[in-house]
Amino acid sequence: MTLIFGTVQSRDGMKSKDFMENSFQPVQTWLTDRQRVDTLRGFACLLLVLHHTILDFSTFTGQALTEVRSVDFILSDVRMPMFSFIAGLIFAYHSERSKSWQFIEKKAERLLLPFVVTTLIIVALKTVYPSASVPVTLAEIPYLLVYGYSHLWFLQAIFLIFCFYALLNMVTDVSKALYGICFVSFIGLYLSPLRSIELFSIGQAFYLAPFFTFGILVTKNIEWISSNRKILLVFSVIFFVSIFIATASFGDTENQLYTRIRSFLVGLTFLIIIYLTMPRISYLYRIGAYSFTIFLFHSIFIALGVRLVPETPATGLLLTLSLAIFGSISLEVFVDRFIPAFRFGVGKGFR
């Protein structure tokens, strides 16, 4: 068993008996299939790893990769929100368990401890072998542990969101209406200047919180969503296309509010479309089962890959991406088998 971004799951993607007991039980539909949710998680992993692969490969080889980076830029509104959305989907199943300080302690153990360990490992390695895209030195470690390094800011931000909902559940029984109020409030914070707060990734928490809350609302309303899936899908696709038509009509703008509104709508509608249509894909849900370790350590294998693979873009990107995915999976398997005492470093805690 392992904890992946706040959810207990087994390697075959099925819920454990312990997970099922004392948990919120929505109607069981195709949308709630656990392997399908793990497929979403695997897809999110691919988007994240591909992003860092493109950045490092382009910087290290000096190739512009203009077309590839254009597509990658479009996906910037989706990558991290998807992880947050999935975490919210799963949190809703066992929100009752969050009504204790023990829940927060477990989240600290399973999110912040790997954050510290991975930061130390990555910075140490990148001091010896400088990063192609994000150079860093050992002297910066205290700063990075407060403000987050590279993609690891996500762990600080998602921890803060878990803490918020844990505290909210401690003081009141959270209804669907209250989750809705939180969703609207977090949209306001998403659009606000408070997004610029860098301390402990507070601003990034405001960036992720609407998507996390939306995931909760989806799970809490899954019966209605399942009944109206086709209608929701049609309207989401139309709206998604309309956003890009409007963007093309108005052109680029430096107005921050406009940019954030557009980014939010693109991210939200894309998540709806993917959630309503993504089938179970075996290789993706198997990748999803190792998503936390891949998230933590993929950048190390990317840094290695760009130094070893051919500079031909198609071959180099594919090989580096594969190394980052399967290297991270192999690392977790190795830790489980040979150095289980270090399992806390891959988000499995001390138990």
Q: What is the pLDDT of residues 18-69, one digit of tens each?
A: 433 444 555 556 667 788 889 999 999 999 999 999 988 888 888 878 888 8
Q: How confident is the model at residue 2 (pLDDT cuts 50, 70, 90)?
A: very low
Q: How confident is the model at residue 129 (pLDDT cuts 50, 70, 90)?
A: confident
Domain span at 320: 27-346
CA distance 48 to 302: 12
Q: Is pLDDT at 226 greater than 90 in this prediction?
A: no
Is residue 35 included in any domain, yes or no?
yes
Question: Rounded to the nearest 5 degrees, what angle is found at the Cα of 202, between the Cα atoms of 201 and 206?
Answer: 115
Average pLDDT, the chain: 85
Is residue 121 included in any domain, yes or no?
yes
Domain count, the chain: 1
Is residue 176 included in any domain, yes or no?
yes
Of the given ranges (7-21, 61-75, 104-118, 199-213), which has the lowest mean pLDDT?
A: 7-21
pLDDT, one tens digit per residue, over 197-222 is 999 999 999 999 999 999 999 999 98
Is residue 15 included in any domain, yes or no?
no
Is residue 16 included in any domain, yes or no?
no
Q: Is pLDDT at 146 greater than 90 in this prediction?
A: yes
Across 34-38, 67-71, 169-173, 182-186, the highest mean pLDDT is recorded for 182-186
Structure-derived torsion over alpha carbons of residues 49, 52, 57, 58, reported in degrees to the nearest 10: 140
Note the pLDDT of residue 351. Answer: 58
Is residue 149 included in any domain, yes or no?
yes
Report pTM: 0.87
Q: Is pLDDT at 133 greater than 60 in this prediction?
A: no
pLDDT, one tens digit per residue, over 284-339 is 989 999 999 999 999 999 988 998 998 888 899 999 999 999 999 999 999 999 99
- State how far the alpha carbon of 122 is from the alpha carbons of 25, 113, 117, 298, in Å: 40, 14, 9, 10
Is residue 260 included in any domain, yes or no?
yes
Is residue 51 included in any domain, yes or no?
yes
Structure-token pair, residue 168: 């909210």
Note the pLDDT of residue 253. Answer: 62
At 300, phi and psi to the nearest 5?
-65, -45
